[in-house]
Amino acid sequence: MYTMNKLFKQSVAIIALALAVCTGMNAQAPQKFNYQAIARNSTGTELVNQAVGIRISILDGSPNGTVVYQETHTKTTNNFGLFNLEVGAGTVVSGTFANIAWGGGSKYVKTEIDPTGGTTYSVAGTSQLISVPYALYAANGGTQGPTGSVGPQGPAGPTGPTGIGAQGPTGPQGLQGPTGPGVGATGPTGPTGVGAVGPQGPTGPTGVGVAGPTGPTGVGVAGPTGPTGVGVAGPTGPTGVGITGPQGPAGPTGPGGGGGGTLDAAYDFGGSGAGRNITVDAGSVTLTGPTGVTGLNGIALLVNQFGTGTAGIGANLSGTGNAISANSSNAANSFSTIQAVTNSTVTTPTPTSAILGQSTGAARGVAGEVTSSGTADAAVRGVNLRTTGGIGAEGVGFNGLSGRSAANQGYAVFANNTAIPAGTNANSIAVAGLGGIGVNGQTTYGTLAGVLGQNFTTTTTDDNIGVLGQSQAGAGVVGSNIDLSYFGVLSLGDFGATGTKNFIIDHPMDPENKFLKHFSIESDQVLNVYRGNITLDANGEATATLPHYFQSININFSYQLTPVGAATPGLFVKEEIGTGNTFKIAGGAAGQKVSWVVYSERNDPYMQQHPEKRDTEVEKRSGQKGTYMHPQLYNQPASKGTYFNLNQPQIKEQR
């Protein structure tokens, strides 16, 4: 808070309030009076050569009385911090100065100041107007009596204490709004698909050889026949045992079983699923499909899977290499090496895919590559055959889609829409950008452009535009040079405008709230203007000097002279512009100041080689005839606009 004695010191309570002296009852009193003060900062130092904002209020009856008049000023202090102003001549905030009832009770003047030159005022002090200006009182109907004799001067009263303006309490801080939602939670990672291991083929049956023939039975030698017993028969003799012959050699192994075994039988050989594992330790398992067969019957390996949340084929790789490798070696093959088809209509939470590439590490989910010797037009291609909506390729993430190229004549991202525009707003857009910034182009090479717009159409209409900028309410195109060292917008050809050509800056008196606009002068000629001030010599003459390049770019000169300080009927151009790019003025008084202006027709090489640029009335081109730059100004429909077909509607993603 700046106080009266720290920020603002009145040189007197009110200095020379009654500067207007009436000589009679009918004299016209000026509705203002002078006010002078010194501005100081919080340490008591004068604010020298500095703009300050001031608000003056006239109060009725007391220092806290009703404000009957209020006005503001912006002044610049001098080398001593002093400034002067006229109360009654400022920017009126409330009340009417001429209607102040100066004779109706005491009046006070309250001073408020903003040392930064703005409108954030602090009270600097309030003082009573000890003597109402006679002229102002008389203007309100008062009658002035005769001037009384000057009384003796009383002793000087003691100096009153320095008033200190009280600082108002600081208002409470508003409640902080709730923090907006942050980044949405990342959805759960879907399960990694693992294909089921195919069944292990059954082990072929062991071949069984045919048993060799049994050797001949050995024959024992029969003993002699005993005599015929007489009487009781003797006991039977023991049976002779022949000696067994040696075993014959093994016969050859017979051929294998002639059929009846299946892969399913091998899978369950030795128990349910006992034969499902195969250790491939002697070369790859090879399936050779039939030749000359098409369709499903020509597929070497066909897997039908009816499970839920599973896969038809799975491959787990714990070493190095590819989990699945596919190779098409037929150069005339018109089919894809790997093809996946889905007819899923699921779109929630996200649409499914015929092929999903997923990475849980630093590897890429999907990669496409054309070798240096290849002739393919694309490493990865997305094709959308729908006629309305849909996307050929979509990238989603922090950077949705990234394109890179190391080729000097290549493109990091290339977009081509070959559709022929037909109908209103059918512009066959190659690239559409939608976001906080729809398209951002940058370059780190000083000779190239961040964004390049080109149109190589050779028609004679003006709708073959390289770059089009549109805005619903703001600027269609904004060009900015960050360090202000060069042009924000540069036109290498003619510059055209259907409206005014404006010079615009922040308003010096209110830069936060206002713009200051100046307008270019328009003419039916291509003109350059030069001006200056000069003082006439003892002979009433002077020589005005123009830039050294003046005659190299100008022809057809005209002059305008304005005497300053006194009328000079005899002032004239004594000598016109010559080879030295000067002209002489004469006919004035010695020491007289003269302002001069020279108008000239532009005649640089561009104008010399394009004299048609001087034409003021030109025919519209063939494609423009029958159209209007601003059809609404001529009560014509918008469809008659010259650039009507370029009015692109708001971009929306076509899914």
Among the residue ranges 8-17, 92-101, 211-220, 531-540, the one predicted with the least confidence is 8-17
Lowest-pLDDT choice from 10-19, 296-305, 416-425: 10-19
> DSSP letters along 263-290, please?
HHHHHTTTSTTTT------SS-----PP
Token match 């002035």: residue? Answer: 144
At residue 422, the pLDDT reads 64
Sign of the CA dihedral with 642 first, then 643, 644, and 645 last: positive
Amino acid at 277: N
pLDDT band (50, 70, 90) for residue 238:
low
Tell me the C-alpha distance between 83 and 51, whole Å. Answer: 10
Cβ-proximal residues to 158 (8 Å cutoff; 6+ apart), any chain: none
The pLDDT of residue 78: 94
**d(C-alpha 205, C-alpha 486), whole Å:** 91
Give ∠ CA 436-442-446 in degrees, rounded to 5.
155
| C-beta neighbour count of 463 within 10 angstroms | 17
Query: Which residues are within 8 A (CB) of 627 and not within 5 positions of it... i.e. 6 or more apart?
Result: 620, 640, 641, 642, 644
What is the average pLDDT value for the chain, to the nearest integer?
77
Where do we find the tokens 């525009």?
A: 421
Residue type, 360: T
Q: How many CB atoms are closer than 10 A to CB 308?
A: 5
- pLDDT above 60 for 161: no
Higher-pLDDT residue of 405, 592: 592
Q: Does residue 166 carry a pLDDT above 70? A: no
Could you tell me the sign of the dihedral formed by the alpha carbons of 577, 579, 582, 587, in that order?
A: negative
Looking at this protein, which amino acid is placed at residue 90? G
The pLDDT of residue 546 is 97
Calculate the alpha carbon distances from 306 to 196, 353, 529 in Å.
12, 19, 88
Rounded Cα distance between 34 and 51, Å, is 19
Give the model's pLDDT for residue 216: 53
Q: At residue 27, does pLDDT exceed 70?
A: no
pLDDT at 227: 58
Burial class (CB in 10 A: 0-12, 13-18, 19+), 52: buried
Asked if the model's pLDDT at residue 559 lies above 60, the reply is yes
Closest among 112, 114, 57, 50 to 82, alpha carbons compared: 50
Q: Give me the helices (H) in 525-616, please.
A: 550-553, 605-609
Distance CA(213)–CA(166), nearest Å, equals 136
Percentage of the chain exceeding pLDDT 70 = 73
**Distance set, CA 496 to CA 488, 491, 492 (Å):** 16, 10, 12
Report, as an integer, the average pLDDT of 428-446. 80
Strand partners, 559: 598
- CA-CA distance, 70 to 76, in Å (whole number)? 20
Tell me, what's the pLDDT at 575? Answer: 96
The closest of 94, 109, 97, 121 to 39, measured between CA atoms, is 121
- Greatest mean pLDDT range, 21-30, 253-262, 363-372: 363-372
Burial class (CB in 10 A: 0-12, 13-18, 19+), 199: middle
pLDDT for 403: 85
Where is pLDDT greater, at 322 or 169? 322
pLDDT on residue 58: 93
**Residue count (the chain):** 655
The predicted model gives 374-389 an average pLDDT of: 86
Q: Is residue 170 predicted with pLDDT exceeding 90? A: no
d(CA 505, CA 514): 9
**What was the pLDDT predicted at 223?**
52
- The DSSP bridge partners found for residue 503 are 518
Of residues 615 and 212, more confidence is placed in: 615
- For residues 530 and 581, give the distance between their C-alpha atoms in angstroms, rounded to a whole number: 12
pLDDT in tens, 313-358: 989 888 898 989 898 888 888 889 998 999 898 888 878 888 988 8
Q: Taking a C-beta distance cutoff of 8 angstroms, is the pair 15, 36 a contact?
A: yes
At residue 52, the 3 state secondary structure works out as strand
Q: Which residue has the tokens 């002068």?
A: 521
Q: Determine the distance from the C-alpha atom of residue 549 to the mean position of all C-alpha atoms in its chain, rounded to a whole number.
A: 43
Cβ–Cβ < 8 Å for 335, 298: no
* β-bridge pairing 582-586 and 515-519: unpaired
pLDDT for res 526: 93
pLDDT-based confidence at residue 241 (cuts at 50, 70, 90): low
Give per-residue pLDDT as tens, 60-79: 989 999 999 999 999 999 99
Long-range CB contacts (within 8 A, 24+) of 348-355: 349/187
Tokens of 457: 């159409």
Are 589 and 569 in contact by the 8 Å Cβ rule? The answer is: no
The confidence score (pLDDT) of residue 145 equals 47
Q: Using one digit for the tens of pLDDT, what is the confidence trace for 97-144?
A: 988 988 778 999 999 999 888 999 988 888 888 754 544 544 554 444
pLDDT at 562: 97
| pTM score | 0.47
* Residues 183-193, mean pLDDT to the nearest whole number: 46
Edge-to-edge strand list for the sheet holding 593-602: 527-535, 593-602, 554-564
519 has which bridge partners? Answer: 502
Angle at 287 between CA 286 and CA 293, to 5 degrees: 150
Residues 154 and 434: their CA atoms lie apart, in Å, by: 83
Ranking 305-314, 362-371, 402-411 by mean pLDDT, the lowest is 402-411
pLDDT band at 153 (very low <50, low <70, confident <90, very high): low
Task: Return the exposure string of 361-398: e unless at least 16 CB atoms fall within 10 Å of the residue's CB, then b.
Answer: eeeeeeeeeeeeeeeeeeeeeeeeeeeeeeeeeeeeee
- Across residues 229-242, what is the average pLDDT? 57
pLDDT score recorded for residue 164 = 39
- 621-635: average pLDDT: 89
- Report the share of the chain in percent with pLDDT over 90: 27
Domains of the chain as residue ranges with CATH: 4-139 (2.60.40), 527-614 (2.60.40)
Contact 505, 516 (CB under 8 A): yes
Q: Residue 404 — pLDDT band, cuts 50, 70, 90?
A: confident
439 Cα distance to chain centroid: 7
